């Protein structure tokens, strides 16, 4: 339905951004592979959807090795950890409950954003805001797409800067 189309449209934009710096004929960098497999893992984009999107953009499906490897899954976990240890990471990227960079940020009735699994667990036992302790009018949560996109874009830009630093180091 609509939701699937929006999801795929976002994925197409995301892939276009990731592949903008790709040199035809070259292999994708680890950072590009990891960004894509991380995004696919979070958004639940399967092999068929991934291949169809690549082909729609005019890329050959074999551009990416088949599916996310354990290495790339570990790498996106490592990238998240690295963001958590980096002082430059915006504080709004951290869940007030877990103190970790959010992967699936959702907004609660208190107007604050939390990691989905953390706030859902909290709401099973509390009717108050974990941040303000005020009573919540309801226990619904809404995906915070803007924040999620900002976190993903930031992760990709940090990876790109890292690659550039590595390249600079290799040339000096």
pLDDT, one tens digit per residue, over 90-122 is 889 999 999 888 989 999 999 999 999 999 999
Residue 70: what pLDDT? 47
pLDDT of residue 24: 66
Strand segments, DSSP code E, in 11-109 are 105-107
User: d(Cα 104, Cα 144) in Å, to the nearest integer?
Assistant: 8
Number of Cβ atoms within 10 Å of the Cβ of 79: 20
**What whole-number distance in Å separates Cα of residue 23 and Cα of residue 137?**
52
Predicted local distance difference test score (pLDDT) of residue 128: 95
**Cβ distance 166 to 31 under 8 Å?**
no
Contact 35, 156 (CB under 8 A): yes
| First and final C-alpha spacing in the chain | 52
Low-confidence ranges of the chain (pLDDT < 70): 21, 24-26, 65-81, 84, 160, 172
- Check if the beta carbon of residue 147 is closer than 8 Å to that of residue 16: no
């Amino acid at each position: 339905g609509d939701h699937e189309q929006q999801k795929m449209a976002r994925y197409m934009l995301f892939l276009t951004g990731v592949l903008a710096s790709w040199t035809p004929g070259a292999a994708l960098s680890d950072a590009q592979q990891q960004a894509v497999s991380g995004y696919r893992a979070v958004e639940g984009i399967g092999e068929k959807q991934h291949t169809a999107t690549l082909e729609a953009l005019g890329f050959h499906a074999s551009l990416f090795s088949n599916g996310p490897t354990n290495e790339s899954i570990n790498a996106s976990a490592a990238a998240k950890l690295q963001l958590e240890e980096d002082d430059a990471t915006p504080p709004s990227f951290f869940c007030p409950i877990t103190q970790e960079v959010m992967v699936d940020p959702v907004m609660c009735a208190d107007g604050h954003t939390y990691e989905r699994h953390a706030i859902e667990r909290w709401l099973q036992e509390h009717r108050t805001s974990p941040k303000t302790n005020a009573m919540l009018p309801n226990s619904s949560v809404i995906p915070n797409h803007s924040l999620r996109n900002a976190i993903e874009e930031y992760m990709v830009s940090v990876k790109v800067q890292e690659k550039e630093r590595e390249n600079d180091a290799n040339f000096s």
